[in-house]
Structures are given as C-alpha cells and as structure tokens.
Amino acid sequence: MVANPYDDARTMFDRAADMMNLEQGMREILRTPQRELTVTFPVKLDDGRIEVFTGFRIQHNIVRGPAKGGIRYHPSVDADSIRAYAMLMTWKCATVNIPFGGAKGGVIVNPKQLSRAELERLTRRYTSEISILIGPDRDIPAPDIGTDAQVMAWIMDTYSMHSDHTVPAVVTGKPLNIGGSHGRNEATARGMVAVLREASEALSFQLGGARVAIQGFGNVGANCARMLEEFGAVVVAVSDSAGGLYNPRGLQIADVIAYHDRIGSLAGYPEADPITNAELLELPCDMLIPAAVGAQITMDNVDRIKARIIGEAANGPTTPEADRVLFDRGVFVIPDILANAGGVTVSYFEWVQGLQEFFWTEREVNAQLERVMGAAFQQVLRLAKERHTDMRTAAYLLAVERVASATMTRGIYP
C-alpha cells in the first residue's frame, strides 16, 4: 500500500498533540488547511495543440506570518501531497522560529517533456491563476522539485506585470540580478550540513572519515555531497532518479558532479558500481541522507537500514511507523522540518532583503544561516532529552507549541 503523505503528516502532528494534551478545538485548527485553491488552465504547446493542466496552491496556516512554500512541477503532484507539504512548511518555519506560515503549490506536469517556451507559458498562466492568493505580504512561493530560479523569475515578472510595478519580494529563490540572495542556491544543503555537524558533536561522532550515502543528486544532494567531502566525510554512494553509484572507497564528488552535468545522469559513471535507489538506502554507512522524494524509508525496508545517523534533506522520506522502529533501534534521525529548513531560512533572508532593498554578502547570509540552524538543533535536542523522545517528535512539540501559542494570543475571529 502506497503511503499517503497527508495521512503521515497528520499522524506526526497527532503524536505531538497527544503529548501536549492539546485542546480539541486547537487540534482541528492546526491539522486543517486554511485555504485550498485548485486551478485548471490551458497552455498552447509549440506544435499548436492546447493542453489543459491542473495546479494547486494550498495555505495550511498563516497565524505566524505570510504563507511560505515551494512550487513543484511533477507528475506525482496531487492535492494530498500538497496539503502534506504545506503542513510541513508550517512546522518547519516554526521549528527554526522564522515568522512565516506554511504553504505549497504544484502543477501536475513532467517539465522535462516541455520546451523552455512551453515551460514559460505554463508558469505564467499558473501564476495568473494563483495570483489571488500570492503576494509579498500574503504568500511567497519558492523553487521545489521541477522548478528553479528561472521559473521564479517568470512568476515574479508575471505578478509584477499585473501589479504595474516590480515586486521582487513576491518570490524567493530567484536570480541574483533581479533581487535574489547570495547563498540561496546552496542554503538547504548548507543547513543540512550544519545540523549534521551539530549532531556529530552531540553524539561524539567524527564527521571526518564518516561514510555517507546520499539519495538524490539534484541541487540539494549534490551540494551536500560536496560540502561533506570538504569536511572530510567519505561519500560512498549517490543516486538520481535513474539509479545510483557505489564505491566503498569513496567517490570523487567533483568528478561525479562534472559527469552528471555533462551527461545529465549518473548512469555509466566509470569509477563506481551501479546500484538502485532502493539499494542505496540499505548500504553500510554512517550517515544516510534521503534528498529525493517522500516515503523512501518504510516498514518494508527499515530493518535493513544500517546508517547510524539519518538527515532528512527531502520532505517526508520516512513513514511514521518506520520512524518508530528507527528510534527503538537507536538510529539518530534529524527530521525534515529541522534538517532541510536551511532553504526556507535563507528564503526568509531574501524576502527581508527584497522588502528593504538592502542586500547582504554571502558571508553574512551563511553566518546567519548557521546561527539559526545551530540554535534550532540545540533547542530540539534539549527538548528531546527532557521529554525522553525522538528528535522528530521534539521538533513537532516545539513547532506546534509556537503555532498554538500564536493562535491563542491572536484569538479566534470574530
């Protein structure tokens, strides 16, 4: 049975709510999306045909600030997955204590099958459809699977044309030359590495020499591999959507990145053995970083996971049932709402810079990112020890308490 990400997200919320003895009315508020928009829109393809696409923008909660969340273009997009990731964004922003709520958007499409012109037309039409929700003080999209800085530029331009003036702060993750932030491209990976360093210190575990396997070799996975290698870790395996590579002596990450950029895939790389994505998860390693898609560690494979530390660079890579098994076995899991929060943290920095029209250096951005991630990790770790629970539940306890407290302080309108 395929896991439903929205069911998983609500299960994790319910665990935290039970531990907090959260009042029933507050539970209903916090486990239910506040706004859901489904759009269908036509796009003219290069050959003259018209194709109708379906997209979503869902805001889970905006009590602590404007909604924030990525937009993904992928064939697997559906309403429940977008609801789940919108909810995760609420908890993610609250975990690292930045003043955003949670949202997510997506279009059911394989962007690899579109030309650049078709992708631009789809993006601009989708932006027009969701413009009733987004805005620099309302809901600020960002890149996700299948989207990038160029897509954000098209969204910003479309919104700005409709507004009759340039609005840089309507999106984050855009190119530097139109108001993007230094450090945004590497932010999720840098935040992931920051919490892995914190975890290695907390566990008296040496990052240098640690054997690492990374599932997913997009922006986040590739940058994680590069940065961890710089800290002396040995990356023994990486993978993309088509499969992966394994070399127990360690991969030369710069060579792998160059090969991937040249070929467009990891397939055929000569200095490693080919493996599947499923096999990568079960390799003997010290650190496992799922950086691809959700529901990768399940009850079907959890007993074969050999890593000591798991850093969730992807959203929802571990099902709730498997998460319990890992905790009971002593595997230290850094949950997604903490581990991959570097991206939304630097998105917050970009949003602030855009509103102020005052931009920071890359060194300033990275220093502030590491400060935020380090503080959040220590808060979650301290709560996990106090409550004798796992890091995921502790992160949820911290996040849900912050959102519930803000809701109580604001009161129920009218």
Which of these, 136, 120, 119, 84, lies nearest to 105 by C-alpha position?
A: 84
204 C-beta neighbours (distance < 10 Å), count? 6
Q: Are 72 and 151 in contact (CB under 8 A)?
A: no
Produce one character per residue of 358-389: b if its CB has 16 or more CB atoms within 10 Å, e if not. ebbeeeebbebbbebbeebbebbbebbeeeeb
**CA dihedral for 318, 2, 35, 105, sign (positive or negative):** positive
Q: Are 289 and 193 in contact, with CB atoms under 8 Å apart?
A: no
Per the DSSP assignment, residues forming a β-bridge with 143 are 71
The length of the chain in residues reads 414
CB atoms within 10 A of CB 83: 22
Q: Can you tell me which residue has the tokens 């273009």? A: 73
101 contacts 62 by C-beta, under 8 angstroms: yes
Could you give the count of Cα atoms lying within 13 Å of 179 in the half-sphere of its Cβ? 21
- Residue 50's SS3 state is strand
Dihedral sign, Cα of residue 182, residue 184, residue 189, residue 193: positive
Q: Output the six-digit token pair for 94.
A: 């609250």
Nearest to 37 by CA among 20, 15, 54, 16: 54
Check if 306 is active-site: no
Out of 68, 104, 306, 385, which one is annotated catalytic? 104
Instruction: Give the type of residue at 70.
Output: G
Beta carbons within 8 Å of 28's beta carbon, 6+ residues apart: none
Which sequence positions are flagged as catalytic?
104
